[in-house]
A and B are shown apart, each in its own frame.
Chain A
């Protein structure tokens, strides 16, 4: 027995020793993973170095630098060095990712072996993408079940998990938790300064902290940084503000549409209330904030310009980076809720506190079905998301790579890169609580998704610009959604939407 234990211990030491040796070797060669070194696995640096793709050319269409575009290019360069393949990376603005893939897809061509986009493209793209081979799916042990599900359709995985996104609240901890500020706020408004739990509180605090130098850096600060630019993911920001008022757990059967009748719900009083709040928000965003896209929001909050922000992880991670002026001065919390929620069954407000997380899912990537380099393409994606790259990527805010592995939801991962323990804990708790929530909303993943979201962006942008009232704007969106349903076919939309509704209603 003792001998067995001794051999086992010796074997473990040798195994760990060999891994450390790999880690040192690859970490030295590739500074990006210096902190962890290589992490063994099917697509590790060591494994990829065994492949020989000399003479093969891989083409990738990805987002503009930096968000997702920078890690794509970085890992392409590393992949070239390891495998001998040539990787050509094309960078495309977010708004054009869909069409840049769809035009050749519909023409039966595959100019790109790998196409990056958003996870809600899946319904339109899936017929043109190659399913992820089982051997790659089998090695995704660490990927959370919900992310595997969202990358799949009818049990077939089409999108390779590289990112996991949720919308949540980010706030300046040094202000909200500051006793002096709390006293000042109380004296001036008669209210408590705390992490806002409703959008009304969010608005009140953001208005109070708007347009003065509350952190003493000599610059003016503002209330909130939000994605308000039309055609730059503003629809997702609006959904985040809407869930509190319009996602009622007691009325299952659809958030965007009534699944039974396929009647759009987008202009019901819940959504109108959310848009009314959002129109007010124009008064407490930085100058020009109505034109903020995602990059502006990241830079604004991450650069210490605003008290609040809500959207993807990127702004939070950017704010926590060592070179940030507000490193370790920010906090994460659930999206604010509301003191009432619309009940579409009885056509009345339910007077109860309501909070609902919005899962945006974020970046997704697939391999073209007509690609002649599928083997290289899947190896590249597998390499992109390998343990070492993933751990390095999630710590760099501008990369846009956010938690989707079980491991990411542990505070240690974040304290290791310099986050304060309480901030790391609040961050992982926020993410984990969203996973546990039973009142979640998932993005629209139906045929014509882009049409629906574009119509919503146009309508809400008109309201933000003062061209229409919130009710008029959403009535216009409603009419447009009805005509999209007519064109695409209500039954086609219903079939796809039912999958999302099942997830929202906790039936999957």
Chain B
């Protein structure tokens, strides 16, 4: 075979890679160095002005980033705990195992935006069923009007929607575990709790790390839930990085500045996730 033919076969993949990954990133970097806005469209060159503004004069971006970190870590942690527990439950021989397996997957199969609209109706403070029920006990929490409860509402929706994904990965992991360590533990008379702590959990560590990282990447892009449920409010109390970038780019039409925020956010996420993977690997796989 002619050596050059190899490159010809690589070309389609390369073109796709350049088209959908390399070009957008390069264009975003170029856009971030421009002042493109509604009045002045076009790729003029303003140097690092946007970056200087972002790092020295925009606390809103950083607040939204820390808020996102809180939401992402909290939701993924809860999803992991609940997802693992549910997977563990249906891994055992229980009645209606198949039914439960399908049931737990339903939230993930629904469309996030539509489900968030339903959740918004559910949380509606004067017309929603939740407060209607709670009013029996004399309470009507301001689910979407209080900065604290609005965050709780977002966490509830995210956990409800994406725990299924964690459940799926953890169940797949549990089903692929070797039987021998469990038999050995049984022979040694280990209690179910000890079996979980010393056998199941360590064996599941690599899968746990993968599942947590996949969910963290997804959770760090929380947008549709915030957009539909709270629009970042009340005030800016639920505004996340992606929502902030959306507002700057597509509402205020500060395209150049939005590109700066996007690129900075991408770099921060790459660094953060790399550190998180290393920490998780060290903690969960220390054995």
Residues of A at the B interface (CB closer than 8 Å) are 95-96, 98-99, 102-103, 106, 124, 229-232, 286-291, 305, 447-448, 450-451, 454, 458, 461-468, 483, 487-489, 492
Contact = CB atoms under 8 A, between A and B. Distances in A.
Q: Which of B232, B235, B247 counts the most A-chain CB atoms under 10 A from its CB?
A: B235
Interface residues of B, number: 33
Contact of A461 (B53, B57, B234): B234
A286 B252 contact: no
Contact of B142 (A106, A124, A287, A492): A287
A461 B143 CA distance: 17
Given A287-B126, A288-B142, A288-B145, 7 more contacts: A229-B233, A451-B252, A451-B254, A454-B247, A466-B147, A468-B235, A483-B57
A20 to B, nearest CB: 46
B213 to A, nearest CB: 32
Interface stretch (B22-30, B34-42, B156-164, B184-192): B34-42
Contact of B41 (A96, A99, A106, A465): A106
10 contacts: A98-B251, A98-B253, A102-B253, A232-B231, A286-B126, A287-B131, A291-B234, A448-B38, A454-B251, A467-B235
B39 A467 contact: no
Given A448-B37, A448-B38, A487-B35, A231 B253 contact: no
A96 B234 contact: no
B195 interface: no
Contact of A488 (B37, B60, B233, B235): B37
B39 A124 contact: yes
B236 A458 contact: yes
A494 to B, nearest CB: 13
B1 interface: no
Nearest to A480: B60
A465 B38 contact: no
A99 B53 CA distance: 23
B144 interface: yes
Given A96-B250, A99-B250, A99-B251, A465 B233 contact: yes
Interface string B138-157: 00101111010000000000
B147 A467 contact: yes
A103 B255 CA distance: 10
A409 to B, nearest CB: 35
B240 interface: no
Contacts of A489: 39
Contacts of B144: 288, 291
A353 B145 CA distance: 34
Q: Which of A230, A287, A458 counts the most B-chain CB atoms under 10 A from its CB?
A: A287
Contacts of A305: 126
Contact of A462 (B38, B143, B236, B252): B236
A450 B124 contact: no
B69 interface: no
A457 B57 CA distance: 19
A288 B125 contact: yes
Contacts of B124: 288
B231 A454 contact: no
A230 B232 contact: yes
Contacts of A124: 38-39, 253
Contact of A229 (B41, B231, B253): B231
Interface of B: 35, 37-41, 53, 57, 60, 124-126, 131, 140, 142-145, 147, 230-237, 247, 250-254
Contacts of A96: 250-251
Given A462-B236, A465-B233, A290 B145 contact: yes
B251 A231 contact: yes
Contact of A464 (B38, B53, B234, B247): B234
Contacts of A467: 147, 235-237
Contacts of A466: 147, 235
B56 to A, nearest CB: 12
A229 B35 CA distance: 29
A337 B90 CA distance: 66
B237 A487 contact: no
A458 B58 CA distance: 13
Nearest to A108: B41
Contacts of B143: 288
B142 A461 contact: no
Contacts of B251: 95-96, 98-99, 231, 450, 454
Contact of B38 (A232, A286, A447): A447
Given A287-B142, A291-B144, A488-B39, A465 B253 contact: no
B174 to A, nearest CB: 42
B39 A464 contact: no
Given A98-B253, A451-B253, A454-B252, A465 B39 contact: no
Nearest to B146: A465
Contacts of B41: 106
Contacts of B247: 231, 454
B234 A487 contact: no
Contacts of B237: 465, 467
B208 to A, nearest CB: 37
Contacts of A465: 147, 233-237
Given A98-B251, A291-B144, A465-B147, A447 B236 contact: no
Contacts of A290: 145, 233-234
A231 B142 CA distance: 20
A230 B235 contact: yes
Given A99-B251, A451-B252, A231 B231 contact: yes
Nearest to A493: B39
Contacts of A447: 38-39
B126 to A, nearest CB: 4
A230 B233 CA distance: 7
Contacts of A287: 125-126, 131, 140, 142, 145
A231 B232 contact: yes
A464 B147 CA distance: 11
Q: Which of A106, A231, A291, A451 counts the most B-chain CB atoms under 10 A from its CB?
A: A291
Contacts of B57: 483
A458 B232 CA distance: 10
A463 B40 CA distance: 32
A67 to B, nearest CB: 17
Contacts of A230: 231-236
Contacts of B250: 96, 99, 103
A461 B37 contact: no
Given A98-B251, A465-B147, A450 B38 contact: yes
Nearest to A100: B250
The 10 closest A-B pairs by CB, nearest first: A465-B235, A288-B125, A465-B234, A287-B125, A447-B39, A106-B41, A462-B235, A287-B126, A99-B250, A467-B235
A448 B39 contact: yes
Contacts of B147: 465-467
B93 to A, nearest CB: 46
Contacts of B232: 230-231
B74 to A, nearest CB: 20
